[in-house]
């Protein structure tokens, strides 16, 4: 399985004005290669929620996208902290530690991570106080 | 229900993309929320024919619509988007209208006129 397209993005700390720009580019990139619209929508939703999480819960971070020759898409969201103290709670629908600022943006309902998990084919999350890495894979529709 | 009929029912003013095609675009359901994660979680089927009703007047509403392939946003409670948000909607090709009605009243009126929810549970 070879990578046919690789992209790197950066989410700057507290850059709320840019929230969603990376996910918009990811969606447009997939659209430009004629990717399946239904799977693309799932990727866009997961990417957007993850990008927002980087802003509202972490100190920004790095995002990479790899599109494989068999149509699989892999997204990695890596932030430098502060980490998620209780992963089990963070994955519980409705549980939220979001700030007023996040809520004012329309987020912080405690649906982010559960939502990402629901729309993703393979979901992996590793977190410590040094940061969180979220690895998401999507398979093309058969 | 056509976009122009929705606008008329809500005494709404058009803000972006109000050409003949946009006015006559049919919407089969509506979803109302101020929480974008709820929209992202629940609108799964045919989002392009769902109207998003919200009092959250900022760029994240437009980003959410963009991610979901939605094309119609109704701002309620007399809130008016900033020039930046309007420009974003225009770039994305999303029709935006605004009404002074509260979310409850806007939803009630549209439901009464036959526009159901995303699970197709209209019975009025």
How far does A18 lie from chain B, in Å, by closest CA?
Answer: 10
**A31 catalytically annotated:** no
**Cβ-defined contact of A106 to B56 (cutoff 8 Å):** yes
Domain total of chain B: 1
What is the reported pLDDT for A105? 87
Dist CA B29 CA A71 (whole Å):
32
Mean pLDDT of B5-13: 98
The interface predicted TM-score of the complex, written ipTM, equals: 0.91
Residue A82 burial by CB count (10 A; 0-12/13-18/19+): exposed, middle or buried? middle
Interface test with B, best of A106, A107, A109, A111 (most B CBs within 10 A): A106
Residues 6 or more apart from B11 whose CB is under 8 A from it?
Answer: B99, B100, B101
Structural domain boundaries enclosing B22: 3-112
Of B119, B108, B113, B107, give the one whose Cα is nearest residue B53: B107
**Cα dist from B76 to B1, B7, B38, whole Å:** 18, 11, 17
Residue B22: inside a domain: yes
| CB contacts, 8 Å: B58 with chain A | 105-106
Neighbour tally for B107: CB within 10 Å: 20
Residue B122: inside a domain: no
What is the reported pLDDT for A104? 87
Per DSSP, helices labelled H in A6-86 are 21-32, 37-56
- Express each pLDDT in A7-55 by its tens digit: 999 999 989 889 999 999 999 999 999 999 999 999 999 999 999 999 9
CATH number for the domain spanning B88: value is 3.40.1390.20
- Express each pLDDT in B39-94 by its tens digit: 999 998 899 999 999 999 999 999 999 999 999 999 999 999 999 999 999 999 99
Return the CATH class of domain A3-138.
Answer: alpha beta
What is the reported pLDDT for B66? 97
Dist CA A9 CA A64 (whole Å):
6
Displacement of CA B82 from its chain's centroid (Å): 17
**A41 catalytically annotated:** no
- Give the pairing of strands B13-16 and B95-98: antiparallel
Phi/psi-derived region of residue B57, left when phi > 0, alpha when psi is between -120 and 50, beta in every other case: beta
Domain boundaries, chain A: 3-138
Dist CA A83 CA A100 (whole Å):
19
Q: Assign B121 a pLDDT band (cuts: 50, 70, 90).
A: low
What is the reported pLDDT for A108? 85
Of A51, A65, A55, give the one whose Cα is nearest residue A23: A51
Tokens 């790899």, residue located: A66
Of B82, B79, B87, give the one whose Cα is nearest residue B13: B79
Residues 6 or more apart from A140 whose CB is under 8 A from it?
Answer: A35, A36, A39, A70, A71, A72
Of A41, A103, A118, A139, which one is the catalytic site residue?
Answer: A103
Q: Does A138 touch chain B (CB under 8 A)?
A: no
Q: Assess whether pLDDT exceeds 90 at residue B120.
A: no
Q: Assess whether pLDDT exceeds 60 at residue B123.
A: no
Dist CA B99 CA A96 (whole Å):
31
Kindly report which listed range (A88-97, B48-57, B98-107) carries the lowest average pLDDT score.
A88-97
């Amino acid at each position: 399985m070879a990578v046919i397209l690789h992209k790197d993005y950066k989410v700057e700390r507290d850059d709320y004005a840019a929230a969603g720009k990376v996910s918009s580019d990811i969606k447009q990139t997939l659209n430009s290669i004629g990717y399946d619209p239904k799977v693309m929508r799932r990727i866009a939703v997961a990417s957007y929620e993850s990008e927002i999480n980087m802003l509202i819960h972490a100190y920004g971070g790095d995002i990479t996208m790899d599109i494989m020759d068999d149509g699989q898409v892999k997204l990695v969201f890596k932030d430098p902290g502060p980490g998620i103290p209780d992963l089990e709670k963070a994955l519980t629908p409705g549980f939220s530690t979001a700030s007023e600022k996040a809520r004012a943006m329309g987020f912080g309902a405690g649906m982010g991570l559960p939502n990402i998990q629901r729309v993703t084919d393979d979901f992996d999350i590793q977190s410590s106080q040094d940061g969180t890495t979220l690895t998401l894979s999507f398979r093309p529709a058969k | 229900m056509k976009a122009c009929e929705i606008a008329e029912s809500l005494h709404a003013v058009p803000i972006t993309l109000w050409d003949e095609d946009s006015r006559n675009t049919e919407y089969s359901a509506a979803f109302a929320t101020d929480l974008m994660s709820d929209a992202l979680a629940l609108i799964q089927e045919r989002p392009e024919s769902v109207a998003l009703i919200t009092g959250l007047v900022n760029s994240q509403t437009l980003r959410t619509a963009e991610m979901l392939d939605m094309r119609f946003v109704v701002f309620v409670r007399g809130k008016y988007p900033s020039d930046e948000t309007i420009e974003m909607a225009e770039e994305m090709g999303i029709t935006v209208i605004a009404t002074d009605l509260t979310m409850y009243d806007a939803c009630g009126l549209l439901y009464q006129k036959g526009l159901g929810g995303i699970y197709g549970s209209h019975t009025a």
